[in-house]
Structure 1
């Protein structure tokens, strides 16, 4: 985990190694942008509201009950997220939150799927966001580490079932 702090922005990156999945396999699952709730069960809803799934400029609506807003448990936290960069060759995607009730301002997230060896890969998930009321950067990083572990586990399990 890497962190950087400045008064203007919080930045961090978390990663996880998947030992039973190749980069291209995970990339295909990750770029199903409108259906990400398949991999992260705290998202009770994730669907497209603009554009075509996985295409530059598309927007998804995500909601879930475990998202916190300004340090207070929210019954339903939601966000609209726009896909702003997709590079299938390098397996990098970037999205930003364009509207939400979870307190994230100027949020941009970058996901990279990197080769680890011939049969495994690494998911890197980085973000930049204005400091979030009710959160610490360390607390946010821990939440991302936990979420990425769940995502990776669910993706590996899905691939072993097919």
Structure 2
């Protein structure tokens, strides 16, 4: 299918972070808790439920203290068997018109769940004024690496 002649380009990106010891089964509950993002993502200080009662349709408010950035994100899908969570930005003061994201936890490449996993964070967005797609992809990649480190620490603390 051809793009309409005046269609704005979409930004797409994906970042991955490896966790060496925690299994995908151990990491998934941390990712699946839609309201715990502030516990792991270094750039977020607040993540609270603001709306919704069913899994699809839950809305969270995320904010970074100090610089007054915030967004509201709606859970659009969760697949525990596939260890996949999807959400979209519904409102923000960061210039997003459309931003959709999927976070997925993948077991170690040996096919088992004996140790190690990867978190994949992919996005599709409309262009954001004042940013480039590369800027957004770098922000996601850096945030994900910090999130993976924090999850490893959390899970190590539970086992020690």
Q: Work out whether the TM-score is over 0.5.
A: yes
After superposition, the Cα gap between the structure-2 partners of 1:65 and 1:133, relative to the gap in structure 1 and judged at 3 Å, is: farther
Residue matched to 1:32: 33
State the number of aligned residues: 148
Deviations 1:104-149 (A, max 9, x none): 1111001110111420111000001101111111111111111001
Correspondence list, 1:141-152, <5 A = 141-152=137-148
Mapped contact 2:14–2:120 kept (Cα < 8 A): yes
Which is greater in Rg?
2
Q: 2:107 aligns with which of 115, 128, 135?
A: 115
Mapped contact 2:30–2:36 kept (Cα < 8 A): no
Unaligned stretches of 5+ residues in structure 1 = 1-5, 67-74
Residue matched to 2:78: 86
Correspondence list, 1:17-96, <5 A = 17-52=18-53, 55-65=55-65, 75-96=67-88
Root mean square deviation, CA, Å: 1.6
Mapped contact 2:17–2:145 kept (Cα < 8 A): yes
Q: Which has the higher contact order (CA 8 A, sep 6+)?
A: 2
The structure with the largest strand share of the pair is 1
Deviation at 1:65, TM superposition (A): 4.2
